[in-house]
């Protein structure tokens, strides 16, 4: 049997980077609260879009609470424990909230691609990949919960499900890039047609936020994969992962 990796949970590469990721996540949640407030008094969207915003906001609140609870468990509840678990319930719960947020936001943008392109095949392909990303996230969450009784396991779960972590975030990044690229192409085609100045400004805004949304979230997803592959036996990748859902929700409100 291989020896346990030389890693201390209470260290810069352990709770240090994870706490930083969660703190940045709380900051992004504060920005989201402001965006939701502005949206609530200035929007004229359909009821389904309002319901989507409400669902994403509630999921973000639950994600923030669960990840904060994880840090509390590690630093306070288990503060004196000599061998702290690598995963606690709050962190595992946060994974499912992030997965659902990602699914909802990606599905919304895929719907937008379909409206602009009128191409059902592209929408079906993207939604299939979106469902695969959802399935991967749910599987990782279930695996994390099932592994809780075996903690501390010194990254045995990460080693066992390494392929799934890589595939899940790679698919998510691919969806983001394809959605952003598709929106830009079809919106640009629309822009080349004679339109009013106000409509042209709206098109420019849609293109800007489409590029921003796909670029930022895909870069962060790829960063998670790269950090996981290069530094699987520390928590840098999880620190980056902690802010991913917040980026999706903020990009939704910004657009």
Contact predicate 43/89, CB 8 Å? no
Q: Within a 10 A sphere around the Cβ of 186, how many other Cβ atoms? A: 20
What confidence score (pLDDT) does residue 145 get? 92
Average pLDDT over the chain reads 84
Q: Looking at the domain that runs over 12-254, which CATH code has it been given?
A: 1.20.1070
**How sure is the predictor about 215, in pLDDT bands with cuts at 50, 70 and 90?**
confident
pLDDT confidence of residue 119: 85
- pTM as predicted: 0.88
Q: What percent of the chain has pLDDT over 70?
A: 83
Predicted confidence at residue 142, as pLDDT, reads 95
Among 104, 176, 87, 177, smallest CA distance to 140 is for 87
**Each residue's pLDDT tens digit, 8-50:** 565 556 678 888 999 999 999 999 999 999 988 877 778 898 9
Compute CA 173 distance to the chain's CA centroid, rounded to the nearest angstrom: 10
Instruction: Specify the higher pLDDT residue, 204 or 72.
Output: 72
Q: What's the whole-number mean pLDDT along residues 87-115?
A: 92
**Which residues touch 217 (CB under 8 Å, ≥6 apart)?**
172, 173, 176, 244, 247, 248, 251
Break the chain into its structural domains and give their ranges.
12-254
Separation of alpha carbons 89 and 191, rounded Å: 49
List the one residue out of 223, 217, 248 whose CA is nearest residue 238: 223
pLDDT reported for residue 6: 44
Residue 148 has pLDDT above 50, yes or no: yes
Cβ(106)–Cβ(152) below 8 Å: no
* pLDDT > 70? residue 3: no
């Amino acid at each position: 049997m291989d020896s346990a990796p030389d890693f201390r949970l209470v260290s810069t590469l352990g709770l240090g980077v994870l706490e930083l990721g969660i703190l940045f996540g709380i900051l992004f949640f504060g920005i989201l609260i402001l965006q939701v407030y502005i949206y609530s008094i200035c929007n004229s969207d359909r009821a389904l879009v309002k319901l989507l915003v409400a669902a994403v906001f509630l999921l973000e609140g639950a994600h923030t609470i669960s990840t904060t609870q994880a840090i509390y468990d590690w630093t306070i509840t288990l503060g004196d424990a000599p061998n702290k678990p690598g995963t606690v319930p709050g962190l595992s719960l946060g994974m499912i909230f992030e997965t659902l947020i990602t699914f909802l936001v990606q599905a919304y943008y895929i719907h937008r691609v379909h409206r602009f392109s009128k191409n059902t095949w592209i929408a079906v392909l993207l939604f299939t990949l979106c469902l695969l990303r959802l399935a991967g996230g749910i599987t990782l969450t279930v695996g994390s919960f099932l592994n809780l009784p075996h903690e501390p396991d010194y990254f045995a779960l990460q080693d066992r499900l390494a392929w799934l972590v890589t595939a899940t975030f790679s698919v998510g990044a691919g969806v983001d890039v394809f959605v952003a690229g598709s929106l830009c192409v079809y919106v640009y085609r629309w822009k080349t047609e004679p339109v009013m100045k106000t409509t042209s400004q709206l098109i420019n805004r849609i293109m800007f936020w489409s590029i921003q949304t796909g670029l930022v979230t895909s870069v962060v997803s790829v960063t998670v994969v790269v950090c996981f592959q290069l530094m699987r036996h520390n928590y840098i990748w999880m620190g980056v992962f902690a802010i991913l859902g917040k980026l999706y929700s903020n990009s939704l409100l910004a657009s």
